[in-house]
């Protein structure tokens, strides 16, 4: 079973995904620590009822047919209608990695509960606001493609070469483990050694 978080990692950076899920590498920085603190309440399994909405935190999810599983931060039930909410530390992003992770949660809920889940939300800690996410055909297709690509990466047991992108890499907690400035995609090990000797 592919962890739901691996889909977000894969779309953010395939190398990061492989370092975490194949090589079992992890390092924490300020951003990951803040994210962990943001999740503390949502990571405690509980159910509460308020104003006709039942809220379940740390809800286990799985879709055996797609081979994905994980834990939803929050699933609100408006009557019988599930509404997943994923907590993120930062701000809304230009890429769709967070949306894919949330859509995968919706696919699990649909498989488990036998009813459509048309939308959910991403809660961003920096803005303290929810961003509504509609699980349309385009997002569902991207999510299914990402599941297949992530499965291929994880089953291949190969970590892709680094490709340094300052905006992405400099914020990553794994930058020291990854070494993207040293291990460029086009370099062979021999080229890297020659460059080190030259430097």
| pTM, full prediction | 0.82
pLDDT tens per residue across span 100-141: 999 999 999 999 999 999 999 999 888 889 999 999 999 999
Question: What Å distances lie between residue 133 and 98, 102, 122, 123, CA to CA?
Answer: 10, 8, 7, 11
Q: State the Cα torsion 12-18-22-24 to the nearest 10°.
A: -70
Domains and their CATH numbers in the chain: 2-158 (3.90.320.10), 161-199 (no CATH)
Q: pLDDT exceeding 90 applies to what percent of the chain? A: 56
The first and second tokens of residue 129, run together, are 């606001």
- pLDDT for the residue 150: 96
Question: What Å distances lie between residue 37 and 12, 51, 88, CA to CA?
Answer: 21, 27, 11
The answer to whether residues 15 and 160 touch, using CB atoms and an 8 Å cutoff, is yes
Q: Which of 16-25, 27-36, 96-105, 158-167 has the highest mean pLDDT?
A: 96-105
């Amino acid at each position: 079973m592919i962890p739901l978080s691996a889909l977000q990692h894969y779309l953010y950076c395939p190398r990061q995904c492989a370092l975490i899920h194949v090589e079992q590498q992890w390092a924490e920085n300020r951003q990951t620590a803040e994210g962990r603190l943001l999740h503390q309440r949502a990571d405690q399994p509980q159910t509460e009822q308020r104003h006709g909405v039942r809220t379940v935190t740390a809800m286990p999810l799985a879709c055996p047919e797609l081979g994905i599983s994980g834990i939803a931060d929050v699933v609100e039930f408006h009557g019988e209608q599930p509404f997943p909410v994923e907590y993120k530390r930062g701000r809304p992003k230009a890429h769709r990695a967070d949306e894919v992770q949330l859509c995968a949660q919706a696919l699990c809920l649909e498989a488990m509960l036998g009813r459509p889940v048309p939308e959910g939300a991403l809660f961003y800690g920096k803005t303290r606001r929810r961003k509504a996410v509609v699980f349309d055909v385009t997002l569902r297709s991207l999510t299914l493609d990402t599941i297949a690509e992530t499965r291929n990466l994880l089953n291949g047991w190969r970590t892709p070469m680094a490709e340094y992108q300052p905006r992405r890499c400099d914020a990553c907690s794994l930058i020291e483990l990854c070494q993207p400035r040293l291990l460029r995609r086009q370099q062979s090990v021999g080229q890297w050694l020659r460059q080190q000797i030259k430097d």
